[in-house]
Amino acid sequence: MQLALQAVRVAYGGPDIVKGVSLGLAGGTIGCLLGPSGCGKTTLLRAIAGFEPVVSGEIRLGGRRVAGSGVMVPPEKRRVGMVFQDLALFPHLSNADNIAFGLRHLDTRQRRRRVAELLALINLEESGTLYPHQLSGGQQQRVALARAMAPRPELLLLDEPFSSLDMEIREKLAREVARLLKQEELTALLVTHDQFEAFAMADEIGVLREGELVQWDSAYNLYHRPHNPFVADFIGEGVLLPGVVKEGGVVATGLGDLRRGRRRSAVMTGWGRRRAAGSGCWCGPRR
């Protein structure tokens, strides 16, 4: 696993914001933490980046322990890249210099080549000498991505990277970014509250709720086999039906008996494989 979290807890001096999250992300895949605002997803991302210490649990990057058990590797030593929500492009540097910012270990010639390579990658060859404020929102977004990718980080973190953009270009850019990440064979973890963004980019998606990882699964399973009504409701507009669990995993609902329940607890049961998007049918226990 390129990124492995083991029971990570994060707190700001008060109650836990992240309550024991474990997950693994294989090299070259794009993961996504999805959840409503205030669910702790950005906090978790900042802990992975090294801006917040973990209370307990551990974080491993490429097998190396970077946080936990008394270890706290500072962000500049983690070989992690990050695209910030507000982009955080340096206004006093040109776009090329922004991209070159993390490349000080290279000599001038190599650095110039890498910057040119990235500018070509994001289709902004002509804009290297311009300053960030001279670009459109989408272009700034791509420069921020290039800056984070430039040092070839072991893991790229994206914190709500498209939230400042218009709906129309958001999804287009999300797909484009996903393509770029795959092309560069980067491992990436994205944080968003927008399910379309998550599905457009991610191979694996985790749904967070109040600091807990409710489900970490492939996009397909998350959609078709949600573990509970929260996930179902958050991913698509679920329709919840009251039902009563009967013998043999059969659930009685007002629409008749359902027999798709495979989960032992039978608290929730997914039904219907061939649903149109956003029209899931759900049932829950009657109390």
Residues that bind other proteins (CB under 8 A): 11-13, 49-53, 74-76, 78, 80-82, 84-88, 90-93, 101-102, 104-105, 133, 147-148, 151
Shortest separation between residue 87's beta carbon and other proteins, angstroms = 8
Shortest separation between residue 169's beta carbon and other proteins, angstroms = 18
Shortest separation between residue 156's beta carbon and other proteins, angstroms = 10
The nearer residue to other proteins, 90 or 196, going by C-beta atoms, is: 90
| Structure token pair of residue 190 | 């994205």
The nearer residue to other proteins, 91 or 256, going by C-beta atoms, is: 91
| Residues of the chain by 3-state class (helix, strand, coil), percent to 5 | 30, 30, 40
Helices (H), the chain: 41-49, 95-100, 108-121, 137-149, 167-183, 195-201, 219-224, 229-235
Q: Helix (H, G, I), strand (E, B), or coil: what is residue 64?
A: strand
The nearer residue to other proteins, 147 or 209, going by C-beta atoms, is: 147
Positive/negative CA dihedral, 227, 230, 235, 239: positive
Shortest separation between residue 274's beta carbon and other proteins, angstroms = 44
Shortest separation between residue 44's beta carbon and other proteins, angstroms = 15
Residues 6+ apart with CB under 8 A from 71: 58, 65
In 3D space, the residue among 152, 159, 147 whose CA is nearest the CA of residue 190 turns out to be 159
The nearer residue to other proteins, 47 or 177, going by C-beta atoms, is: 47
The nearer residue to other proteins, 151 or 249, going by C-beta atoms, is: 151
Q: Evaluate whether 282 touches 229 at the Cβ level (below 8 Å).
A: yes
